[in-house]
Structure 1
Amino acid sequence: MEAGALTARRTAAASALASSYLSRQDSKRLLIVGTGRLSPNLAAAHASVRDFDDIAIWGRDASKAQKIVEELAAMGLRARPAQGLEKEAKAADVVSCCTLSHDPLIRGEWLKPGAHLDLVGAFTPQMKEADEAALVRSRVFVDTFEGALSESGELVQALKSGALKRSDIKASLFELSRGEHPGREHALDITLFKSVGCSLEDLAAAELCIAPPSPPMHDALAAG
């Protein structure tokens, strides 16, 4: 089992799971920010939980964005290179960032009411994919409190500056999955999910990969 591929898929799956609770069900426009290994996985995962009409890929290198578009086409997903980050972010219903940026790429003022922002790439206190305004305008959720509060540059820096309080973080992905928090509560809320990853996600993904397939329902009923 190749660790890099496993991590890419479980990271994308966690973002999609969070989106199923946090993004609007009528979301139609997806923007992927970044052109690394995670990008096609994130696009495919997000498309599995929402019926997008438009998928745009943004990267500093247009040729890499085009390559991601072609990879997605091979998966049966129609996508296109983004026309400009600000323009695309303002129009998107879901923005998913997977970069190694140390400077904010997404500005809070760009996010329209009802948008969902997924931040995956910044996994050290020095990295940052969105500015403080994005956090302040959003209802913030995390994959795990322990990881996000110590490793996420966006959260670490915003908490240090006082722009964000610990109580502003509404819930973890575990709490969303257990039904302990409703997730999105109002259509015009801006939601933000910050993921830094955790070993439990790797374990769960690995177990799913090696688990025997479940029998078809009619076979299970016959056996019973």
Structure 2
Amino acid sequence: MHIYTAEDIAAALNWGAVIDALREAHQGPRPQGDSYFIGDAGFGLFSRGVVLPGYGAGLKVCSINPGNSSLVPPRPVEQAAFVVIDEQTKAIAAFMDGPEITRWKTAADSALAALSLSRADSQTLLVIGAGPIAQALTAAYLHIRPSIKRVLLWNRSPEKLVHARRLIGEQVAVEVVSNLDAALEQADIVTCATSSLQPLVKGARIRPGTHVDLVGGFREDMREADDEVLRNARVFVDDYSTAQASGDICGPLKSGALSHIEGDLFDLCAKGATRAAQDRTVYKNAGGAHLDLVVAQLAIRRHRRQTSHLTG
């Protein structure tokens, strides 16, 4: 068994390779998987497991403690590991830094879907949240949409955005905004990665033609968007089972604001989505262990090539 650190994983990956790997995997067989959560908003243990033909199996284990963000100095909210099981031998092949795998797979998941669901001429990106996932989403969207000229950043604690703003670089105009409603009215793409229990994205503020990417909420009590965001929108998810367990999907389904889900990431990779300029699209990125497994196997292959080159 090999242990892969966050530095090992980051050095092996880039956005193009990760997005391509996820696209290829979603043109093959569907995974078998399950997940569980024990706890509440204060603390939780979270796990997902998967078997995916061609990739082996994997198990993600997380300890989630939001209170860590308030410590001085702050500690990571999520402590996690991802275990890779070899397809042939069924042996545990790798033990990987969970947050780093999550960072790459989550942002690439949204970016892959957005290639079909967002307008190719999108110019203004609104990023809601300030954590590592929000920062990764910013980088992934800038990779797939070079048309973006402006990035708006919003977070409940704006002081946390100073570091994120520096990471974006100088290729686009970056603005930390205080008025979220006004920012929503300007955005062509909205991506939200928070642990909010109350809707932040309001349908009344979303322009026709906007793509809304909801990433943060995975429990039924978590909501990033109100019902009006999904009403009369074209709604897609990455994984039916995990998405329908999230408040952003099960809430509108229960209220009747959402009548059906148009497709998942397998559907998008198989046939895409032809969109009209005025379509409002919504993507619920709730994750799935098959995504972690695909990215983990990519990191393993690329790391081996890098190290064999250095030692050769």
Give the structure-1-normalised TM-score. 0.88
2:246 counterpart (128, 149, 152):
152
Equivalent residue letter for 1:63: E
Query: Residue 202 of structure 2 corresponds to which residue in structure 1?
Result: 107
Q: Report if the CA contact (8 A) 1:16-1:45 is conserved.
A: yes
Indicate the SS of the match to 2:144. Answer: coil
1:37-56 to structure 2, matched below 5 A, reads: 37-51=132-146, 52-56=148-152
Gaps of 5+ in 1: 216-224
Q: How does 1:2-81 map to 2 (within 5 A)?
A: 2-51=97-146, 52-73=148-169, 78-81=173-176
More strand by share: 2
Shift of 1:65: 1.6
Aligned to 2:29: none
Counterpart-to-counterpart distance in 2, 1:84 and 1:68: 18
Report the TM-score, using the length of structure 2 for normalisation. Answer: 0.64
Deviation at 1:62, TM superposition (A): 1.4
- Give the structure with higher Rg (CA): 2
Equivalent residue of 1:31, what SS? strand
Contact kept? 1:94, 1:117, Cα under 8 Å: yes
Asked if 1:92 is matched to 2:92, the reply is: no
Question: How far apart, CA to CA, are the structure 2 residues paired with 1:138 and 1:178?
Answer: 21
Conserved 8 A contact 1:100-1:127: yes
Q: 1:121, 1:77 → 2: CA distance?
A: 25
Kindly provide the CA deviation profile for residues 12-54 of structure 1, in whole angstroms up to 9, marking residues without a partner as x: 0000001101000000000000111211100000111112100
1:196 has 2:270 as partner: no
Q: Secondary structure of the equivalent of 2:223? A: coil
- CA–CA distance in 1 between the matches of 2:177 and 2:121? 21
Higher mean displacement: 96-105 or 83-92: 83-92
The residue that corresponds to 2:264 in the other structure is 172
- In structure 2, the gaps of 5 or more residues are 5-96, 306-312
Summarize the Cα distance change of 1:212–1:106 in structure 2 as closer, same or farther, 3 Å threshold: closer
Instruction: Give the secondary-structure state (helix, strand or coil) at the position aligned to 1:128.
Output: coil
Structure-2 residue corresponding to 1:82: 177
Instruction: Give 2:256's aligned amino acid.
Output: G
Q: 1:46 to 1:164 in 2, by over 3 A?
A: same
What amino acid sits opposite 1:204 in the alignment? V
Q: Distance in 1 between matches of 2:219 and 2:161?
A: 25
What amino acid maps onto 1:191 in structure 2?
T
Q: Which has the higher helix share?
A: 1
* RMSD, aligned CA: 1.8
How many angstroms apart in 2 are the aligned matches of 1:141 and 1:169? 6
**Deviation at 1:161?**
1.9
* Separation (CA, whole Å) in 1 of partners of 2:257 and 2:120: 30
Distance 1:195 1:60 in 2: 21
Please give the alpha-carbon distance, in whole angstroms, between the structure 1 residues aligned to 2:274 and 2:228.
19
State the alpha-carbon separation in 2 of the partners of residues 5 and 77 from structure 1.
25
